[in-house]
Structure 1
Amino acid sequence: MRMATTLSQPPTTTTIYSASKTPQPQNNPNSISSQQELSLLSKLHYCKSVSQLKQIHAFIIKTPRSQTHHVYAKKLIYSLLQLNHFFSPPNDKDLNYAHSLVKQWDKPDVYAYNALIQRMSSTSMQSFHLYQEMLIKGIIPDTYTIPFVLKACSHSLALWEGTLWTATAHAFTAVVGAGILALPWSVAQLGWILGPFILVFFAIVTYYIASLLCDCYRTPDPVTGKRNHTYIHAVRELLGPKSELICGILQYSILWGTMIGYTVTTAISIASVKRSTCFHDKGHNAKCGVSGNLYMLIYGAIEIFLSQCPNLEKVAILSVIASVTSFAYALIALYLSTAKLSSNHEFKGSLMVAMVVNTEATSERFWQAFQALGNIALAYTYCMLLLEIQDTLKSVPPENKVMKRVSLYVVVGTAFFYISLGCIGYAAFGNDVPGNVLSRFYEPFWLVDMANVAVIIHLIGAYQVYAQPIFAINEKWIGSRWPTSSFNKIYTIRFPCSRKGSLHLTINRLFLRTIFVVITTAVAMMFPFFNAILGLLGSVSFWPLTVYFPISMYIVQAKIKRGSCHWFGLQALGFVCLIVTLVSGIGSVAGMVEFLKKARLFHIEM
């Protein structure tokens, strides 16, 4: 609805006038009546955009009434601060506009400053200046002010503690997942010519695009510009709000989907340990069926506890442990595959796209090849978490240079394991290689069990790397929506018999994170075949999140001219990756249809 139709005396222009130009209201024929005052106040409450608020502000200033102007100002600033962007905070222009209104108040209250400090907490110096301004004006801080200031401190340069090695641990945890165990199958679907080539090609592509994205962490200058704390913030800053909305839906869908997939995969790994022990004790022909629902509940309970860690920086130790365990099960799988290859005394497999069993249709073989192509492309990517990891780094040396080194170490390390395990596993089993290479090994059972336990530990830590960005965006939105609620108040629980030991919690974190993990676990139990759906979701999101947005942001950040050689090169790379996304999506749909024919709700049994 246009504001001109909702105001009884609409302004002839929407220009925003400063308070210093406000005419004095004595005997002003344009003064508004009490009934109009109530109408304007109600309209302020229902405004859905900053532009509507500014129109009402212009109308109030042009038809003033001095004895009630402060009422309008207070209601206006409250309404403005209630306007929220779910994926990103308001832009600097809107926040500065809100701040200017607060400064024009004769007697601003503590709520207005609390709301401003909370909304500007991602830019710590602004929050500190607001707090200082608040004290100078004699406004007494309340129980909500200090937590907001401390939150701003957590974003200050002095408290960024991440290093090259902690960032490398986070990145390895995000990149190297249990999907590495499916790489021999993926190579088998492509054959000896295409398989290794695709593994090397996407390693190079991943590093190149990650290097471009590292320069988008700060804008407009990659070294001295303003920080973009998350991937979505960078998209909004460089590409605009429409791209931000699309990116947010895709990114948080794949993050949550990965959490569900990890829950299912962990239950399968725990069941594999139990089955391996059963086969060792009773023989390989014994019936050792295992249900995974109980293991999902156990995994969910562990993640509820770990979810109380405040942020990604505080779970660095989990990332280190997860990285070590990922190397452990990759090395065990590589050792077992090498031993199997040595006992065969021959290389198995075919040069071209795998000719699997003769009963399978030709079209199905191609669907599997398409799916394998997407699996390899997705195995390397971590762009949607790269900026979140980069945000943990110290500012000296420059974050973009450190993160490029992190990307190099991660891509080279993962490429070595991917190529080694993918090729050796394929050579050992040929076209009969299973989807999870560990499932074909039974002895030595203790080593196989150790590999599965390592997978479990890795997934426990990796879950938090994917969950923390979701927790952060939800809590930021709730905190900005209800900034003075006791829901966001920090409570300190001191440990008995300890002077320094304490735990800081908020009701928001305690209940909402718990509920979120419970819902995630329930969905995993309801749809134990979710990994098939996750494959399709990953295929669909690969091109926009891993290729299109990073390349588009870099073009804007580096001011690359349209039509230049560099521009055409980037567009060509994006087109190639788009083709990969399309064929991978086709393969994932075909695979999902076949899988869903045998799947059942609330049933995961091995």
Structure 2
Amino acid sequence: MVGAGVLGLPYAMSQLGWGPGVVIMVLSWIITLYTLWQMVEMHEMVPGKRFDRYHELGQHAFGEKLGLWIVVPQQLMVEVGVNIVYMITGGKSLKKFHDTVCPSCKQIKLTYFIMIFGSIHFVLSHLPSFNSITGISLAAAAMSLSYSTIAWVASAHKGVKPDVDYSPRASTTTGNVFNFLSALGDVAFAFAGHNVVLEIQATIPSTPEKPSKKPMWKGVIVAYAVVALCYFPVSMIGYRVFGNSVEDNVLLSLEKPRWLVATANLFVVIHVIGSYQVFAMPVFDMVEAWAVMKMNMKPSSFLRFIIRISYVALTMFIGVTFPFFGGFLSFFGGFAFAPTTYYLPCIIWLAIYKPRRFSLSWFTNWICIILGFILMVLAPIGALRNIILQAKDFKFYS
């Protein structure tokens, strides 16, 4: 659950301000916990059948063809979007690690660091399944908890800057409005577990006496407790210390102690190595199934090799060409994560369970749908403006 999106939360707070920032963070935590509970419950709602993929759940709710068209494009956007952002994050963190450990060394282009990070996945992408990346995933989870803790503890230790400024980042009202919208996407990106939750639950054994939803829900509760322990201190302490001068990755704002900053960035690299694979696995599964079933290709090691190498190369190329961590974080957070995380589970719940009109369940789901839809429409607008502004002065492959 705890992804690299946590590092962008202080920046989001600087665009939202104290009051709206705290409200939106708490609301997001509550809404996404509720929608995650719905997905865990719906995994085995039909006796003797398990919905092991998000699109299978969509097909059950909306029909064979419509369900695919509603869910698959959104899920692919999320997973590809996360992998692009993680390519950029891995490269930037490797560069920060290098520059911190050896400040007098010759400067190396960010492009090369992203390519170094991508080369790791040319190897790891050939692991066969979720179970085979258990060790990597466990290391990634430990790292995310570690670098989140380092981010807020180091910020707190640094203390509030003497000239800290909590006023809006932009000098114009228009700029502040667009920044506010963009920040909504940053927050949405941080809550990203829904897109692979059914695939993860599918790996848990299940019997009528001991359905998988019980251990899965316990796991979700632990995950969300960890999310709260990471997200709220990082976002609020990071913003309190740096104010509106905080970077879109809070670790880039920290300079001392050097050894701790270097360690935190190395932890980020290890974490996004594991997280990249968690989000890439469902894409490999989907593309390989499509190639065999729709394109009538013969299932083989060669086909698998070509598909996986091509996918890693594509995400690396986009990351190298447009290394805008903050802009992509916000764009994908609003455009792709809001539907699959904030309101699609609610629409599926209403379609399947049909709660009584004006009941508590009906009201709760409609509130989540409306808020999620507003988020999906508004956040990408602010993000696209920020990407365009960054691209104006940017030298490609620099």
Report if TM-score (shorter chain) is over 0.5: yes
* Contact 2:185 2:332 (C-alpha < 8 Å) held by counterparts: no
Higher relative contact order (CA 8 A, sep 6+): 2
In the alignment, the residues of structure 1 paired with residue 345 and residue 145 of structure 2 have an alpha-carbon distance, to the nearest angstrom, of 28
Q: Which amino acid aligns with 1:189?
A: Q
Q: 1:429 to 1:538 in 2, by over 3 A?
A: closer
1:188 aligned to 2, 7, 14, which one? 14
Q: 1:331 to 1:566 in 2, by over 3 A?
A: closer
Q: 1:184 to 1:548 in 2, by over 3 A?
A: closer
In the alignment, the residues of structure 1 paired with residue 149 and residue 308 of structure 2 have an alpha-carbon distance, to the nearest angstrom, of 34
Q: CA deviation at 1:549?
A: 2.0
In the alignment, the residues of structure 1 paired with residue 369 and residue 163 of structure 2 have an alpha-carbon distance, to the nearest angstrom, of 36
Partner of 2:91: 267
* Contact 1:216 1:557 (C-alpha < 8 Å) held by counterparts: no
Partner of 1:443: 256
Say if 2:302 is the partner of 1:507: yes
1:199 aligned to 25, 30, 48, which one? 25
In the alignment, the residues of structure 2 paired with residue 325 and residue 480 of structure 1 have an alpha-carbon distance, to the nearest angstrom, of 38
Q: Which amino acid aligns with 1:332?
A: I
In the alignment, the residues of structure 1 paired with residue 327 and residue 245 of structure 2 have an alpha-carbon distance, to the nearest angstrom, of 20
Say if 2:304 is the partner of 1:524: no
Say if 2:211 is the partner of 1:393: no
The one-character-per-residue Cα deviations of 1:415-466 (angstroms, maximum 9, x if unpaired) are: 2211111111111122222222212222221111111111111111111001
In the alignment, the residues of structure 2 paired with residue 519 and residue 356 of structure 1 have an alpha-carbon distance, to the nearest angstrom, of 34
Q: Which amino acid aligns with 2:93?
A: S
Say if 2:278 is the partner of 1:465: yes
Say if 2:183 is the partner of 1:372: yes
Which segment drifts farther, 536-545 or 419-428? 536-545
Unaligned runs of 5+ in 2: none
Partner of 2:111: 293
Within a 5 Å distance, the mapping from 1:343-358 to structure 2 comes to 350=166, 354-356=167-169
Partner of 1:583: 378
In the alignment, the residues of structure 2 paired with residue 431 and residue 417 of structure 1 have an alpha-carbon distance, to the nearest angstrom, of 21
The one-character-per-residue Cα deviations of 1:371-401 (angstroms, maximum 9, x if unpaired) are: 1122113212321211111111111531222
Within a 5 Å distance, the mapping from 1:532-571 to structure 2 comes to 532-533=327-328, 535-562=330-357, 564-571=359-366
The one-character-per-residue Cα deviations of 1:194-243 (angstroms, maximum 9, x if unpaired) are: 222222221111111110111221242xxx34111110111111122223
- TM-score, normalised to structure 1, is 0.61
* Contact 1:200 1:415 (C-alpha < 8 Å) held by counterparts: no
In the alignment, the residues of structure 2 paired with residue 199 and residue 534 of structure 1 have an alpha-carbon distance, to the nearest angstrom, of 16
* Contact 2:6 2:148 (C-alpha < 8 Å) held by counterparts: yes
Partner of 1:317: 135
Q: 1:184 to 1:510 in 2, by over 3 A?
A: same
Q: 1:355 to 1:527 in 2, by over 3 A?
A: closer
Partner of 2:62: 239
Q: Secondary structure at the match of 1:385?
A: helix
In the alignment, the residues of structure 1 paired with residue 261 and residue 378 of structure 2 have an alpha-carbon distance, to the nearest angstrom, of 34
Q: Secondary structure at the match of 1:218?
A: coil
Q: Which amino acid aligns with 1:301?
A: S
* Contact 2:43 2:198 (C-alpha < 8 Å) held by counterparts: yes
The sequence identity of aligned pairs, in percent, is 29
Say if 2:369 is the partner of 1:574: yes
* Contact 2:185 2:331 (C-alpha < 8 Å) held by counterparts: no
Q: Which amino acid aligns with 1:557?
A: I
In the alignment, the residues of structure 2 paired with residue 455 and residue 507 of structure 1 have an alpha-carbon distance, to the nearest angstrom, of 32
* Contact 2:77 2:336 (C-alpha < 8 Å) held by counterparts: no
Q: 1:446 to 1:472 in 2, by over 3 A?
A: same
Aligned positions, number: 395
In the alignment, the residues of structure 2 paired with residue 314 and residue 190 of structure 1 have an alpha-carbon distance, to the nearest angstrom, of 41
The runs of at least 4 consecutive aligned structure 1 residues that moved more than 6 Å come to: none
Within a 5 Å distance, the mapping from 1:332-343 to structure 2 comes to 332-341=150-159
* Contact 1:369 1:587 (C-alpha < 8 Å) held by counterparts: yes
Q: CA deviation at 1:347?
A: 11
In the alignment, the residues of structure 1 paired with residue 352 and residue 37 of structure 2 have an alpha-carbon distance, to the nearest angstrom, of 13
* Contact 1:191 1:349 (C-alpha < 8 Å) held by counterparts: no
Q: Secondary structure at the match of 2:311?
A: helix
The one-character-per-residue Cα deviations of 1:522-561 (angstroms, maximum 9, x if unpaired) are: 3333333476345323311233212332112212332423
The one-character-per-residue Cα deviations of 1:356-376 (angstroms, maximum 9, x if unpaired) are: 36xx21211221122112211
Within a 5 Å distance, the mapping from 1:47-126 to structure 2 comes to none
In the alignment, the residues of structure 2 paired with residue 569 and residue 412 of structure 1 have an alpha-carbon distance, to the nearest angstrom, of 22
Say if 2:67 is the partner of 1:256: no
Q: CA deviation at 1:349?
A: 5.5
Q: 1:565 to 1:444 in 2, by over 3 A?
A: closer
Say if 2:24 is the partner of 1:226: no
Unaligned runs of 5+ in 1: 1-174, 283-287, 490-505
Which segment drifts farther, 531-540 or 317-326? 531-540
Specify the structure having the higher radius of gyration (Cα). 1
Task: Name the structure where helix makes up a greater proportion of residues.
Answer: 2
* Contact 2:14 2:168 (C-alpha < 8 Å) held by counterparts: no
In the alignment, the residues of structure 2 paired with residue 382 and residue 390 of structure 1 have an alpha-carbon distance, to the nearest angstrom, of 12
- TM-score, normalised to structure 2, is 0.91
